[in-house]
Amino acid sequence: MQHIDHFDPASATVAPAAGLESQQDHFDAKQKREFNKLQKRLRREVGNAIIDYQMINEGDRVMVCLSGGKDSYTMLEILLNLQRNAPVNFSLVAVNMDQKQPGFPEHILPRYLDNLGVEYHILERDTYSVVKEKTPEGKTTCALCSRLRRGSLYGFAEEIGANKIALGHHREDILETMFLNMFFGGTLKAMPPKLLSDDGKNIVIRPLAYCKEADIAEFSRLMEFPIIPCNLCGSQPNMQRQVVKEMLAEWDKKHPGRLESMFKAVTNVAPSQLADRDLFDFAGLEAKQADLMSGRIQAFNVN
């Protein structure tokens, strides 16, 4: 496994990890500058999301869910850097779930995490068999698979005393979810950067919420993370999500800035300009109007 440790953003010089110099030799000066810029941007965006949503506090024990995909490797890398430099003390524990898919390369993550020197657990749960058994032929398995994985990870967080669970969803995941919910769920909701689980036991955080998927993919490529594919089960990826993903990618190409604007919209909601009667008191508008008018009349009389 090859791995580049962090570049010092302040001096923009390479801070090599032991034994990794040879890989860095392959970076020419321009690539190093580009890499530094990308890494700084990702760190800044993660830092901002953590501050904006108060994701991590002093004394937190954060369970970092590591699937072996580009997003979770990036999240772990950036959180480790943040831990070294943040003004608050918090601990990180990486957790991967071995779902017993045939061909799952069991050695990759332990080797990677041993090299990093980070505390970690591999949680073995045969959700693969359950998913195969319960999913009708021809139906996509990802929804049940993710639900089972989430349930196991949430339970495990309690076991290891983690009070926060970090998931590697990024900006595009959030936007895709919003469109999927609009198209198929009839609801205007996305994926929040921070959430309390339904049973109240877990706080889930998404430190990559502000990060672009393309940046993460590039960072992951340059870091040469040992990616484990998520289709070992032979399943098709969630087709609808894929369609929405392509739609967003097309928009991004044709209309630069559109995704930024859409993500901003998720953080800037005007309930009085929507139509949800639970979020805004439309029936009370006349009373509000009467209050306003009487206030004006009183002010007029005083003057």
Map the footprint of ligand SF4 across residues 166-205, applying CB under 6 A: none
Question: Which region among 12-20, 118-126, 176-184, 229-237 touches ligand SF4 (by CB under 6 A)?
Answer: 229-237
Phi-psi region of 224 (alpha: psi -120 to 50; beta: other; left: phi over 0): left
136 residue type, one letter: P
Distance in angstroms (rounded) separating the CA atoms of residues 239 and 13: 43
The answer on whether 145 is annotated among ligand-binding residues is yes
Distance in angstroms (rounded) separating the CA atoms of residues 91 and 138: 43
Kindly determine how many residues on this chain lie close enough to bind ligand SF4 according to the rule CB under 6 A: 10
- Shortest CB 153 distance to ligand SF4, Å: 13
Q: Which is nearer to ligand SF4, 65 or 266 (CB)?
A: 65
Question: Which region among 3-11, 152-160, 213-221, 230-238 touches ligand SF4 (by CB under 6 A)?
Answer: 230-238
Instruction: Out of 231, 242, 261, 289, name the contact with ligand SF4 by CB under 6 A.
Output: 231
Q: Which is nearer to ligand SF4, 87 or 138 (CB)?
A: 138
Distance in angstroms (rounded) separating the CA atoms of residues 259 and 175: 8
DSSP 40: H
Question: Which region among 178-186, 195-203, 206-214, 225-233 touches ligand SF4 (by CB under 6 A)?
Answer: 225-233
Instruction: Out of 141, 177, 202, 220, name the contact with ligand SF4 by CB under 6 A.
Output: 141
Instruction: Out of 65, 66, 78, 233, name the contact with ligand SF4 by CB under 6 A.
Output: 233
Dihedral over alpha carbons 156, 162, 168, 172 (to 10 degrees): 100
Give me the sheet containing 61-65, strands edge to edge: 120-124, 91-98, 61-65, 164-166, 203-205, 194-196
Feature table: binding site for [4Fe-4S] cluster: 142, 145, 233
